[in-house]
Structure 1
Amino acid sequence: MSRRDLSKEAWCWYHLTSEAFYRGAVESCRMVLAFFKEEALTRGLQDYGRNNQIYDAWKKHAQDLESGIALAKFGDYAKLDDAAAGIYSTNRGVTQHVWMGWLGDAEEKYHELTMIPGRYATRIRTTLAPGLRGGLYWIEDAATDSPESKNQDFGPTGDDILLLIQSGSEEKYPHLKATPVPSHFPGYAPDTSRPVRTGELVPWTGVWIPAAGLENHSLTFAIEGLPMPPSWRIIKTAEQLEQECVDSGKGKRNKNGLVFDDQGELLTFLDDELEITEMTWYPLLQVDEVERVVQRGRVEANQPCPVRGYWYTPAKQNSRALFEHGARMPDFPGSTYGATIWYWDDNQG
C-alpha cells in the first residue's frame, strides 16, 4: 500500500458523498436514456421486445436518483442507495436476458455508456454502506457472524478511494470535466473535541477519521442519527498477501509480475486482509475552516455554530455554553446590549 495522503483521501470521500457526484450519476443515466431513445426511434423499434421497459427503467433511475438527492439533504440516504442498486439490476437484466442485436454496431456503444452510471452506482453504494449499515451491523450481527463475513469491509479500504483521481477519471466520471479535481487539495484535521464511539449515534453527517489514524485503517462516511460504524483494520495488504504466496512457494511470479500456481492458474489478490474493530472516531474538517472560525472568533445569532466548543455573548449574563457543530446560536432580541453576537472562548477548558 502506498504512503497514505490524508488530504487526498478526505477530499475524495467528501466529493464522492457530495451533491455534485450524485448529480453526475443522474446525468450519466440521462445520457444512456437519450442514446437508447434515439437509436430505437431511428430504427422504428421503440415498441420492439422490451425496449419500452428498458427506456422506462433508465428514466426511473434518473428520477430515483433525483429523489434520493433531495432526501439526502435531510439526512435520509436510503433512497439514494436503493436508486444505485436499481442500476445494477437493469444492467444485469439487459446483459443476461435481453437481446440487443437490433442495435447493430451501436450495441457496443450502449454498453460503454451503461458502464458509466454503473461506476457511479458502485461508488455511491460503497461510500454510503458504512454509514447506512455498518453501525447497525456492529450492534446486531457482528458478534455472532463468521470471521469470513464480518471481516469484509463495507466501504473502500486503504487508499482505494483514490481511484477517483487517477488518470482518465474524467472519462469514467464525466461530471469531473465541470467539477475538476483540484490541483491543490485542502488540508484536513480531526476535531478531537467531538469523539464518537462505534455504536453511538452519529451527531453530524460527514467524513470521520479513526482515532488510531490511517496507517492501518480507513476514513468513513457516517450519517447523523444512525449508529457510528466500526473500523476494519488492515492486517495485510493485497500486495503483502501476494508476496507471502510467492515467498512460501505456493505461487511463482513471471517476468510481467503476475503470480501463477503450480497448475499455471493466475492467482489474484484483490482484497486486503481485514479485522473488524470497535473505534473512536472524530469528524474530519478542513483546517482552514476551523482556523478561520477561531481566528474570526465570532458568529451572529440564529446562524449555525461553525465549530463545536464554548461560546459566550455580552447580550446575556453567564451566557458561556457549549454548542455542537451546526446548532442554532440563540438570539436575545430584548437585550440592552443590542445585537446578539457570540464570541469564541479562548479558554475551552
Structure 2
Amino acid sequence: MLPNFRDTLQDLYESYIALSHGDMSSLNTAHRVANDFRGQLEFSSDWLEELDPPGGDIYAEFLSVAKRYAGNICATAGAYWSKTELTEGYDILSRGPLPAFAHWPKYRLNHATTVSTGEPVPQTGIYLPSAADSAAQFLIAGQAADKANIGYDERTMQNVGREPTKWTLIERVPGETVTDGLLDLLSGQSARINRVPAGDPCPRSGWWYSPAQVSSRRRFKHGDIFPDFEGSHYGATFWLWSQDQADY
C-alpha cells in the first residue's frame, strides 16, 4: 500500500497547484484518498505498533481524518449530496464538527445565471435546483450540469431518485451577514406559506410540490383541493409552495 500512498500524495500535490490556478475539477483527486482507504483495509497495520508504539493508533487516527475530508470533498465535487444531509440530518461523526456562527454570510439567488441539466455550467459555484424535494449542489464550470437528487431514504441513506432540473446560482452578498442564511436567501420570494395538508383547499394560485412523491410539482388554482398520495413512505401528504414559479 505504501507505493499507492506515495502516488496519491503526488497527485494531491499536483491537484493543489491546479486548484490554486482555479481548476476546481482537481477536487476529484479526493477519490484517490477514498480508494486508498478501502485498499489498505486488506492489510494489517500491527507492524506499526512494533516499530513505534503507539504508531498503529496514530496511523488509524490520521487515516480516519483523511477519509472524512475525502468523503466530504467527493460528495461536493460530484454533486452527490442528498436532501437533509447538510441540515437536520447532518452527522458530526462522519462529516466532522460545524462551527457555531452568530452571523452567517448573506446570500442571494442570481436569476441571471442559470443552467439546465446536461448543459455546460457557466460559472463555478453553488446552485439551487428548481426540482422539488431536492438539495443545492456545487457545480463546476464547463462540466455538464447534473440531475437533481430527489428525496432521502433513511433506510438506504441515499436519495430516492434523480431528475432533470434548472439550476440557479447562489451568490454571496459582499460584506453583509444575517442570523439565518436560508431565510435571507428566500427573502426575495413571495411571502412564505405554511405547508398545507392533502384534502385542504389551495390558498394561492401557483406552483406547489409535495415531498410525498417525486416529480410532484404542479400548478394549482386558488380553491383547488390538494390530492393525497396514499402509501407514500413519507407518511402524511402535505403540499409546499414552490420556490420556482416559472412555467416550463
CA deviation profile, 1:72-124 (whole Å, cap 9, x unmatched): 3445344431x32222333233220x332222352233212201101111111
* Equivalent position of 2:11 in the other structure: 64
TM-score for both structures, normalised by structure 2: 0.58
For the Cα contact (< 8 Å) 2:85–2:91, is it kept in 1? no
CA deviation profile, 1:28-82 (whole Å, cap 9, x unmatched): xxxxxxxxxxxxxxxxxxxxxxxxx62x54454344223213223445344431x
Gaps of 5+ in 2: 177-248
Q: Does 1:129 align with 2:78?
A: yes
CA deviation profile, 1:142-162 (whole Å, cap 9, x unmatched): xxxxxxxxxxxxx11112124
Q: Which amino acid aligns with 1:127?
A: T
CA-based RMSD of the aligned residues comes to 3.2
Q: 2 CA distance for matches of 1:233 and 1:80?
A: 24
TM-score for both structures, normalised by structure 1: 0.43
Q: 1 CA distance for matches of 2:87 and 2:109?
A: 20
Aligned partner (choices 52, 74, 85) of residue 160 of structure 1: 85
- What is the CA-CA distance between 1:163 and the residue it aligns to? 8.5
* Equivalent position of 2:57 in the other structure: 108
Q: Which amino acid aligns with 2:133?
A: N
Greater shift, 59-68 or 216-225, is seen at 59-68
Q: Which amino acid aligns with 2:147?
A: P
Q: 2 CA distance for matches of 1:77 and 1:119?
A: 19
3-state SS, counterpart of residue 195 of structure 1: strand
Q: 2 CA distance for matches of 1:182 and 1:61?
A: 35
The share of aligned pairs that are identical, in percent, is 23
Higher strand fraction (1 or 2):
2
For the Cα contact (< 8 Å) 2:117–2:145, is it kept in 1? yes
* Equivalent position of 2:143 in the other structure: 226
3-state SS, counterpart of residue 102 of structure 2: coil
Higher helix fraction (1 or 2):
1
Q: Does 1:99 align with 2:44?
A: yes
For the Cα contact (< 8 Å) 2:153–2:160, is it kept in 1? no
Q: Does 1:278 align with 2:164?
A: yes
Higher Rg of the two aligned structures: 1
For the Cα contact (< 8 Å) 2:82–2:159, is it kept in 1? no
Change (3 A) 1:276 1:65: same
Alignment of 1:21-32 (within 5 A): none
Change (3 A) 1:231 1:120: same
Gaps of 5+ in 1: 1-52, 131-154, 240-268, 292-349
CA deviation profile, 1:293-321 (whole Å, cap 9, x unmatched): xxxxxxxxxxxxxxxxxxxxxxxxxxxxx
Q: 2 CA distance for matches of 1:232 and 1:169?
A: 20
Q: 2 CA distance for matches of 1:91 and 1:169?
A: 15
Alignment of 1:312-327 (within 5 A): none
* Equivalent position of 2:110 in the other structure: 191
Change (3 A) 1:277 1:238: closer
Q: 1 CA distance for matches of 2:71 and 2:119?
A: 27
For the Cα contact (< 8 Å) 1:165–1:181, is it kept in 2? no
Q: 2 CA distance for matches of 1:210 and 1:86?
A: 29
Q: 2 CA distance for matches of 1:159 and 1:66?
A: 33
Q: Which amino acid aligns with 2:149?
A: W
